[in-house]
Amino acid sequence: MNVSEEALFFPCAGECLPGILARPCEVGGTRVATAGRDQQAGHCGVLIVVGGPQYRIGSHRQFLLLSRRLAGEGFPVMRFDYRGMGDGGGAMRSFEEVDQDIGAAIDAFQQTCPAVRSIVLWGLCDAASAALLYVDANHDKRVAGLVLLNPWVRSEVSLAQTQIKHYYGQRLLQGEFWRKLLKGRVEVRKSLLGLIEKVTMASRRGHAPGDQGRSFQDRMAGGWRQFSGKLLLILSGQDYVAKEFLEYVGANRAWSGLLDGAAVHRVDIADADHTFSSRAQRAQVENTTLAWLQSFAAAPTNIIPAIPREEHARQSPGESRSPSSSQRKWLARSGSSRADMSPHTAQTRLGNAGERSPASVGEQSRMVAAAADTDSLLLT
């Protein structure tokens, strides 16, 4: 199916953030798809939240490919940069400080794609954590679904516990370790000191309630517990972050029973690494996400009327900065002659997988990647 993509800038706390909105093409005003099913899908939008020190394309172009796959099946998808990342203005911030960014992205998503009534937040690693923190802090009724992949709950204690169970234990069972030990190629004293340090750290208690407020892990659990929508949890079998998440959830009272909730659907991908780096692993994530979304959209109770978000924690669009000169150039390369819009948008249309639009030459650094978002430089 054909997919169209729009480049846009939207306001957030006095800065401009870039986003890419992907949705099914229209030919003569008519969707090229099955009307009934796609009408349901069109009311459900997926907002891809970026995790880690990266931007809207994602590791191995995962977010770009996922957005086009889901849009090709009828689901509008938006991916964007936080403040201070990629082409976003402002200072860089941690995943604990992006509530305003996510809220502003939801506003821009629904403003640019008014048919979207329900939002599904999709996040990998600390983006999954950020999604839960957003839910805990905002109680945004527009968010009706969460797709969480390998959520980040890292602390010194949880890391030590995970390493002891999943690293040191497995290491002792490896013949290579014993061969190195017998040949004197293991620094025994250093290794023992490291193990003692991990055991000491692992024996400590985690964050105690009331100590300098709630930990981000407890706030994540709070968001999960009070969330009334549906949740898809995808975990990698070959990832210490996923193992650490399961260890942490199993040992902390705040998380008790959350993974067993009726609204939670869990999928384990046994051979997957943290970022699902192979083509087969990415395909499994795409297929799992799509199947869950189709089931989600088919339930009428999951599609809600558009509810304006309260503006008390965020400035109005009129208070934002205009796009910078580099941001305007990005819009221009994306085909925009409408640099005075709010949100500022430019549209391009992608054909089937075998089609390519002309690629520009001589682009540099992140501006190459920004152009690649919209002009189909990298379709493979």
CATH code for the domain in which residue 314 is found: 3.40.50.1820
Tell me whether residue 328 is in a domain.
yes
Q: Summarize the confidence of residues 5-14 as an average pLDDT.
A: 95
Residue 364: pLDDT band (50, 70, 90) is very low
Tell me whether residue 380 is in a domain.
no
Q: Give the DSSP letter of residue 164.
A: I
Q: What is the pLDDT of residue 302?
A: 79
User: Of the candidates 93, 20, 9, which has an alpha carbon nearest to the alpha carbon of residue 53?
Assistant: 93
Q: What is the pLDDT of residue 261?
A: 95
Q: Summarize the confidence of residues 278-291 as an average pLDDT.
A: 97
The answer to whether residues 220 and 195 belong to one domain is no
The answer to whether residues 186 and 319 belong to one domain is no
Q: What is the pLDDT of residue 285?
A: 98
Amino acid at 366: R
For 50-76, letters b (16+ CB in 10 Å) and e give bbbebbbbbbebbbbbbbbbbbbbbbb
Q: Summarize the confidence of residues 181-200 as an average pLDDT.
A: 58
The answer to whether residues 121 and 171 belong to one domain is no
Tell me whether residue 147 is in a domain.
yes
For the chain, what is the radius of gyration of the CA atoms? 22
Question: Residue 201, exposed/middle/buried by CB under 10 A (0-12, 13-18, 19+)?
Answer: middle
The answer to whether residues 231 and 309 belong to one domain is yes
| Residues whose CB falls within 8 Å of the CB of residue 108, separated by 6 or more in sequence, listed in order | 8, 10, 19, 78, 80, 343
Long-range contacts of the stretch 50-53 (C-beta < 8 A, 24+): 50/79, 50/80, 50/81, 50/82, 50/85, 50/127, 51/95, 51/123, 51/124, 51/125, 51/126, 51/127, 51/128, 51/129, 51/130, 51/152, 52/125, 52/126, 52/127, 53/85
The least confident of 83-92, 132-141, 150-159, 226-235 is 150-159
Q: Which of 183-197, 225-239, 307-321 is predicted most confidently?
A: 225-239
29 dihedral zone (left: phi>0; alpha: psi -120 to 50; beta): left
In angstroms, rounded to a whole number, what is the distance separating the alpha carbons of residues 296 and 294?
5
The answer to whether residues 64 and 118 belong to one domain is yes
The answer to whether residues 146 and 173 belong to one domain is no
The answer to whether residues 230 and 122 belong to one domain is yes
Number of domains in the chain: 2
The answer to whether residues 69 and 163 belong to one domain is no
Q: Summarize the confidence of residues 341-350 as an average pLDDT.
A: 53
| Encoded tokens for 230 | 């549906």
The answer to whether residues 259 and 115 belong to one domain is yes
Tell me whether residue 139 is in a domain.
yes
The answer to whether residues 198 and 292 belong to one domain is no
Q: Is the pLDDT of residue 376 over 50?
A: no
Tell me whether residue 207 is in a domain.
no
Q: Summarize the confidence of residues 300-328 as an average pLDDT.
A: 58
In angstroms, rounded to a whole number, what is the distance separating the alpha carbons of residues 332 and 309?
31
Listed residues 202, 234, 263: the one ending a domain: 202
Find the domain containing 179 and state its range.
156-202
User: Of the candidates 192, 208, 191, 233, which has an alpha carbon nearest to the alpha carbon of residue 155?
Assistant: 208
The answer to whether residues 312 and 163 belong to one domain is no
Tell me whether residue 358 is in a domain.
yes
Q: What is the pLDDT of residue 35?
A: 46
The answer to whether residues 149 and 258 belong to one domain is yes
Strands (E), the chain: 3-12, 15-24, 26-27, 30-31, 44-49, 77-80, 118-124, 143-149, 230-236, 264-269, 344-350
Q: Is the pLDDT of residue 361 over 50?
A: no
